[in-house]
Amino acid sequence: MIENRVFSHLSMTAEERYDAYFEQNKELFNQVPLQYIASVLGMSAETFSRIRKRKSESS
């Protein structure tokens, strides 16, 4: 598990990490403060917010 997180940190962009985490944990996005999810993904809350906004505009 921890190896996967380290590998994704090193090999994926912030947006790719967001997409992968969202697909695996959709329910968390409504249950957990988004700043905590941003922290788990290794990005600032601002970066997380920008990615989230882009995703909602493209849907």
Token couple for 49:
């917010």
Model confidence at 43, in pLDDT bands (50, 70, 90)? very high
Domain ranges of the chain: 2-58
Torsion (CA) 22, 26, 30, 31 in degrees, nearest 10: -100
Residue 7: what pLDDT?
Answer: 74
Please state whether 57 falls in left (phi above 0), alpha (psi between -120 and 50) or beta: alpha
- Mean pLDDT score of the chain: 90
Please tell me the distance from the alpha carbon of residue 19 to that of residue 57, in angstroms, as a whole number: 15
Residue scoring higher pLDDT (53 or 4): 53
Give the pLDDT mean for 31-49. Answer: 95
